[in-house]
Amino acid sequence: MIKPVSLILAALLMAVQFVHAEDFVAGKDYEVLASPVHTQNKNKVEVVELFWWGCGHCYTFETMFDGWKKKQGDTINVVKMPAMWNKTMKLHAQAFYTAKALGILDTINGPFFKALNVDRRRLNSESQIQEFFAKHGVDKSTFEKTFNSFGVTSQVNLAESRARSYRMQGTPEIVVEGKYRVSPGQAGSQARMLEITDFLIAKEQTARAAK
């Protein structure tokens, strides 16, 4: 008799977890958060990428992470979240959510990374960021209205609060399902971060399938 698809999927996920069970250890390869953080989509396992446009390691990780993300399809919910622990990073977070609100995040993301890491531009004031957006077709009035809007400010504050709850140590980092934090320091490399992320996703999907 042919097994239901859900049972086959669960078996496959359990097999993946078994293969990696001894490879990745909590407290050694990744951290288990003391208090889980709520996720945005209860129907899919959430993967949060914590980054900063001015972080050189994030710049090199971006292409790798994007390639990994494309392979996932729509099986998980990936959330890109700017980290912030100083004034400049908070301005960049405002720029991030401004671009998102205007529907041009995919257009802005790569050039902003390049401006900070390759061109060595500072972009540490609202006026400099406004000029940058202007080069990508956003007029000054639209930028200023959006950049200082309640919606953007709320998203910045929420991201800042969630990052504190994640107990983040630096960038880039990945948080899976609001429960597990994966960092390059513990993982050993950016490539291994993604391997551990795969393991944790399978772990969570297996737990869901078993319910």
Q: What is the pLDDT of residues 103-144, one digit of tens each?
A: 999 999 999 999 999 999 999 999 999 999 999 999 999 999
Residue range 176-193, pLDDT digits in tens: 999 999 999 999 999 999
Residue 83 contacts residue 163 (beta carbons within 8 Å): yes
- Pairwise CA distance, residues 29 & 196, whole Å: 8
* pLDDT surpassing 90 at residue 31: yes
Contacts of 51 (CB under 8 A, 6+ apart): 58, 61, 62, 80, 81, 82, 83, 171, 172
Classify 178 in phi/psi space as left (phi over 0), alpha (psi -120 to 50) or beta: left
For 175, how many CA atoms within 13 A lie in the half-sphere containing its CB? 29
**pTM score, whole prediction:** 0.87
Task: Please tell me the distance from the alpha carbon of residue 185 to that of residue 166, in angstroms, as a whole number.
Answer: 16
pLDDT average, residue stretch 153-181 = 97
pLDDT confidence tier of residue 7, bands split at 50, 70 and 90: very low
Kindly indicate the confidence band of residue 211, based on its pLDDT and cuts at 50, 70 and 90: confident
Q: What is the mean pLDDT of the chain?
A: 91
Do the bridges between strand 45-51 and strand 173-176 make them parallel or antiparallel, or are there none, so unpaired? antiparallel
Fold of 26-186: Glutaredoxin (3.40.30)
pLDDT, position 12: 47
Q: Which residue has the tokens 């205007």?
A: 102
